[in-house]
Amino acid sequence: MHVIHMEYDVFKANDKIAEKNRKNLDRHQVFSVNIMGAIGSGKTTLIEEAIKNLKGKYRIAVIAGDVIAEMDASRFRKLGVSTIPVNTGKECHLDAKLLEKALNEIDHENTDILLIENVGNLICPVDFKLGEHLRIVIVSVTEGDDIILKHPMIFKTADLAIINKVDIAYAVDCNTKKMQEDILSLNPDVPVILTSKHDFKSLETWISFIELSFKKTAEK
Ligand code: MG
Ligand code: ZN
C-alpha cells in the first residue's frame, strides 16, 4: 500500500527546481522524456529498442531511476549510450532535485535526447515534475484491464500512453479495447500506442513518436 504524506510546500519546492531543470535543458537543446510505469510494464525494454534505433541519428543519454541496484543502467550502457544511474533509496519516484543532480553528470553539449526511466510506480511520479518535455506512461496487459481507472491521474497528465505486451493479452484475459477506452475517457486527446517487443511495426510507432516529438520541440 502506497500512502503519500506530503505537504503542499514539498510540491511547490519541487516545481521550482523542475522549472530550473527545464530552462537548463532548453538552453542546451536537450529534449527530455520522462518514462513512467509499474515494475514489469516493460519500460526498460521499450527504452532499449528506442536507443538501438535512434543512437545512429541522435546523441542519446539515459537516466535510469531505480530504488536500488544498477541492473537497468547496465542494460543501457551495453548499448553504448551515456547512462546515469539514480538510486532513490527509500523513495519510489524521481524528483526534480534528483534530476538536477543527474543533469550535472550529463554532457549537455553532446546530447540531443535524454530518456529518463522513472522508478516503477504509477502513483507519485504524477506529483513530481522533473522539468521534462514529454511524459509517457506505459502499462502492461499483465497488470489487468482495470489498471487504468485505478490510476487516473497519471493518464490524465500523460502526453502518450502505451499499452505493452499486447501479444499476450488473450493469455492473461485482458481486454485491450477497454484499456484504450478507459485511457481516452480520462484524456481524450492523448495518443495511445499498443506495443509488443515481438511486433516490429509497433516498436517503430513508439520510436517514431519520440523522434517526431523531438523534432517538433527542436524546431521551436
Ligand atoms: Mg526497468
Ligand atoms: Zn514515490
Q: Is residue 186 part of a domain?
A: yes
The total domain count for the chain is: 1
DSSP codes joined into one string, the chain: -------HHHHHHHHHHHHHHHHHHHHTT-EEEEEEE-TTSSHHHHHHHHHHHHTTTS-EEEEEEESS--HHHHHHHTTT-EEEEEE-TT-SS--HHHHHHHHTTS-GGG-SEEEEE--SBSSGGGT---S-SEEEEEEEGGG-TTHHHHSHHHHHT-SEEEEE-GGGTTTTT--HHHHHHHHHHH-TT--EEE--TT-HHHHHHHHHHHHHHHHHHHH-
Ligand closest to Cα of 90 equals 2
Q: Is residue 1 part of a domain?
A: no
Q: What is the pLDDT of residue 219?
A: 87
Q: What is the pLDDT of residue 157?
A: 97
Ligand 1 centroid to Cα of residue 166, in Å, is: 18
Ligand 1 centroid to Cα of residue 122, in Å, is: 13
Ligand 1 centroid to Cα of residue 66, in Å, is: 8
Q: What is the pLDDT of residue 7?
A: 65
Within the chain, which residues score under 50 in pLDDT? none
Ligand 1 centroid to Cα of residue 170, in Å, is: 24
Q: Is residue 50 part of a domain?
A: yes
Q: What is the pLDDT of residue 99?
A: 97
Ligand closest to Cα of 3 equals 2
- Residues 140 and 138: their CA atoms lie apart, in Å, by 7
Ligand 1 centroid to Cα of residue 5, in Å, is: 26
Q: Is residue 24 part of a domain?
A: yes
CATH number of the domain enclosing 41:
3.40.50.300
Q: What is the pLDDT of residue 2?
A: 58
Instruction: Report the mean per-residue pLDDT for the chain.
Output: 95
Q: Is residue 67 part of a domain?
A: yes
Q: Is residue 82 part of a domain?
A: yes
Q: What is the pLDDT of residue 156?
A: 98
Ligand 2 centroid to Cα of residue 125, in Å, is: 6
The answer to whether the predicted template modeling score (pTM) of the entire model surpasses 0.85 is: yes
Ligand 1 centroid to Cα of residue 119, in Å, is: 8
Q: What is the pLDDT of residue 27?
A: 96
Ligand 1 centroid to Cα of residue 75, in Å, is: 9
Q: Is residue 155 part of a domain?
A: yes
Residues shown for the chain: 220
| Structural domain harbouring 196 | 6-219
Q: What is the pLDDT of residue 90?
A: 86
Q: Is residue 123 part of a domain?
A: yes
